Structure 1
Amino acid sequence: MEYAAAYGPVVMNAVKAIVVLILGWFLAGLISGIVRRRVVSHPKIDDTIGNFAASLVRWLVLLVTIIAVLQLFGIEATSLVAVLGAATLAIGLALQGTLSDIAAGVMLIIFRPYKLGQFVDIGGTSGTVKDLNLFVTELVTPDNVQIIMPNGKAWGAVVTNFSAHETRRLDLTFGIDYGDDADKAIQLIIDTAKADSRVHSDPAPWVRVTNLGDSSVDLGVRLWCDASDYWELKFHMLKAVKKAFDENGINIPYPHIMSVPKSA
């Protein structure tokens, strides 16, 4: 009886704490999911803000859950605030990297140099943005490799966003033989480009002689297209122009090795 009287309340509080933790964890996931769906469903708000808001709400619910658990063991919220206030400096020094990531995450959401689904290069690391939360930015490379980058590093790095605009300019260079007709080759490239519906007519395809190389006359090509068509158009143009050159007698120079026999 004495054992039950002495330890009974502690055991009950421990059980309650476990129940509160489970419910808090469940509610954190439930509420964050609802917030994400509500924000994402709004036509004027992009998915990036939805993910970030859901992450913020989840951590707030978990914080409230932890405070509730501490109160079950007799630690009042006011006492907890006082303790946290006294330990602010120590926590700040110990978690300065984490706090920096949170601050950087907020800045990334405010200025939005990239959004979910966009292909970016962040400080030399390229990939499609899959997630942006309080602490990290998650990228997926074209070969399906996951990259986790702390927000602090992402915010402090040079960001190249290849998907920021709806259109992109495709730049290509084709070398032809010095003995070939440059005007004929230019017209072949223009005709090939105009035959592809992915090439925009405004600005019109641009082809000029851009360099006289050691073994070729280089023709620079500039084509405008939708950003989503960039890579497929590039691969198609390389193949199509090569075929057009072959059919019309335009030669593409390539390195040769000449053997000169030494006379007796």
Structure 2
Amino acid sequence: MGKQPNLYSFSSSDALAKNLRSYVISSQNDGLNRHDAFKIAVSGGSLPAVLAKALLTPGNGTPEDTVRFDKWEVFFADERAVPLDHADSNYKLLKSELLDKIPAELGQPIVHPIDVTYLDDVQELADQYEQELVKSFAAKDSVKLPIFDLLLLGCGPDGHTCSLFPNHSLLRESDAWVAPISDSPKPPAKRITLTLPLVTHGLKIAFVATGEGKKDVMKKIFDTEEGQGLPCGLVNEGGAEKVSWFTDVSATQGVGFPKRGSL
């Protein structure tokens, strides 16, 4: 058996937040040591609220517990083709849950929203966002894929992550860094998303999945062959030991895959 993802299951939201905080700050410090920046991609859904709980709690002042938002560069793992102040916007969600609440003394991250000039053309919207990655990471002719320090992802009840949906042709995309989708089975239909090869190329990849509503899909992803073909399962397969799942006992109820109680 090859190397496997890490499945952490916590008894409370406080324990999950505390461990997620340690994991994110460790990833941040690795990024600062590597290139004096922390390049992170985040999803929407319930993730921004969990992230805010983890990161906005005052630390103990040690480097191992200090969030350096002034060194963060934030991208979106996927985004909906809507204005930035729209209720469906992942940018708006992250802004209201986390960015607007960051204390001044922690600094402000560089944030890369979509260019709303191109909302009517999702291919161009994706191409423009890919150019944002090129500017930050490297020219596309010099690297095959950019390497994020961390990608923070969610898991849908159907096993989708980012805007990569089960049985969708986008799962086979191997050239683009950012791809458009105009037929999302979950509204809104028009979106852009990081592609599977880019996601699994990250140095660290973390999922946050909580609540009883996730237990069926979690059991499928971790315990069945069918689940390995779902987008979250494909990230597990491609990222292997680079992948860590932050879950609660409700979400992992009945899951046979070995679980850990702390980092």
Q: TM-score, normalised by structure 2?
A: 0.20
* Larger relative contact order (CA 8 Å, sep ≥ 6): 2
Structure number with greater Rg is 1
